[in-house]
Every structure is written in structure tokens, then in C-alpha cells.
Amino acid sequence: MPLTPYAEIDELLGNLLEYVRQILGKNLTGFYLYGSLVTGDFDGESSDIDLLAVTAADIEFRDFDRLQKMHDDFVSEHPQWDDRIEIAYVSVAALRTFKSHRSQIAVISPGEPFHIKEAGKDWLINWWVVREKGVAIFGPPPATLIELISKEEFVQAVREQAKEWGEWISCLFKRKEQAYAILTMCRALYACQNGEQASKQKAAQWAQEHLPQWASLIQKALVWREAWRDDAVDHMATFPDTVRFVHFVIDRIGEVKAR
């Protein structure tokens, strides 16, 4: 059965899985799709593809080098996906202990090269989305591999991350970055009030209804998101309103409780 509504994306995912399996062999336990392709908010011109590769053991240096070359070759073959693929390679042990232990993770994501880092509870939101809504391209259901995450733990993680946007927003000047911040804060407020993750589009529409004083700015963010290649704009003209919105939502999140 199709994985997504897009035949070309399904073919792309099949190729990626085959490349990863050729390198990792039996070390690959599962391969999962999540993000906008699953939540129904995918934009073929700008959205990323989010994937989790679950491994039986940590990635060794030899396989890391081979995976890095694979990712470089993939971008050469598909330049339209340059800086738009995120794959996290995480061991089963790490996914079952991430709340209490930090473990090795190999990851390539927009704005970052393929690298190894440590990850723990700071990835809880990602793993909650994979566990609850992820699609298995290969392997068992993701909920069998990822430690149980309660709705309360998910909402608390969203609260903590939203608070950090108070600092992050100070250096995100471009319209694309402002759009991302505004829509992410809409999703955070939606999650904290409703106890679940929504697509950016759905969360934005919900926020426009519940925050009418900010409806115009939220609508602009949706437009900026689609026209992100347009740099012939005065980025700083809208920056103060974006900063005010981020801090407004942080304060609002402090006042609400998930249902």
C-alpha cells in the first residue's frame, strides 16, 4: 500500500530504505516516517522528510562513513532534497532509556551535516510523534521500540521547549525563520491546550480562531512559509511583531492546562 499520497515520495523512501539496508544489514531494526508527510501538512516545495532509523546497536565509525557518503550521493542525485532530509539513527536501547540516559545518536537534519551527538529526554517530542503517529516503512510498529510516553510528559516537554523560544527568537531574523517560529508556537499552544500534536496548518487555523488579535500575523506566516524563497523583503519590518507573538504565546502556555 502507498505510504504517502505522493508516488514520487514513496519511491524516494523506498530507495532510501534500500540504501540504508545495504549499509547496515541486520543492524537495521526499523525505519519510520513521521512529520508533515504523516500529519497531512506536507508542502512539496519546502517541507522536510523526517525519518527514524532504529538500529540494534550504535552506529560504528565504518558504517558512519558509508552512511555519510550515501547521504552525499543522495543529494547529488536529488538536488531538490538538499537540506530537506532528516534521518536519526538511534539504537533500540537508546529509545528504551532516553528519559533517564543520554545515548549516541547519528543524525542528518536541515542546517546540519551528518554527525554524531548525544540525545536523551530533549528528543521526547520527536519520539512521541513517532510512537503515536509514525508509519513503519520497515520493521515492527514504533510503539514496540520506543519507551512509553504519557500525554502529560509530552505536554510538559512542549512547555519546556516553547519557553526556550523566548531566547531562540532573538536571532531568527529571516522571514522563513519568523514563519517557522510563529507556526511552531501555534502548534505548541495547541498541544498544551489539547494534549496532542497538530499539523502547522491545523494549529495555525485553530490559533487564528482562538487568538483573533494575532490572526493577521499568523496568516502572514502561512504565506511566508509558502514563499520562503522570496528574499526581496524587509525581514526586519515584521521581526518585532514576531518576537511579541512568541512571548505572548509563552505567557499563554503558562496559563493553560491540557484537557
pLDDT bin (cut points 50, 70, 90) of residue 173 is confident
Residue 230 pLDDT exceeds 70: no
- What pLDDT does 237 receive? 87
How high is the mean pLDDT of the chain? 93
Strand partners, 86: 50
Taking the C-alpha atoms of residue 149 and residue 223, their distance in angstroms, rounded to an integer, is: 34
pLDDT on residue 79: 93
Whole-model pTM: value is 0.90
Q: What is the pLDDT of residues 46-91, one digit of tens each?
A: 789 999 999 999 999 999 999 999 999 999 999 999 999 999 999 9
Of all residues in the chain, the percent with pLDDT exceeding 90 is 83
pLDDT for residue 5 is more than 70: yes
Alpha-carbon Rg for the chain in angstroms: 19
Burial class (CB in 10 A: 0-12, 13-18, 19+), 152: exposed
Per-residue model confidence (pLDDT) at position 249: 98
Helix%, strand%, coil% for the chain, nearest 5: 60, 15, 25
Please state the rounded mean pLDDT for residues 94-117.
Answer: 95
- Asked whether residue 225 carries a pLDDT value surpassing 80, the answer given is no
Q: Is the pLDDT of residue 138 over 90?
A: yes
- Ranking 124-138, 173-187, 216-230 by mean pLDDT, the lowest is 216-230
The per-residue pLDDT for 125 is: 96
Q: Which of 110, 23, 126 is nearest to 68 (CA)?
A: 23
pLDDT attached to residue 227: 65
Over range 92-116, report the average pLDDT.
95
Q: Which of 62, 56, 53, 58 is nearest to 16 (CA)?
A: 53
Place of cell 519546556: 160
Instruction: Name the band, by pLDDT with cuts 50, 70 and 90, for residue 234.
Output: confident
Are the beta carbons of 139 and 31 closer than 8 angstroms?
yes
Q: Which residues pair with 133 in a beta bridge?
A: none
Locate all alpha helices (DSSP H) within the chain, ordered by sequence: 7-24, 36-39, 61-77, 92-97, 124-133, 151-168, 175-194, 200-210, 215-226, 235-253
Q: In terms of pLDDT, which residue wins out, 207 or 46?
A: 207
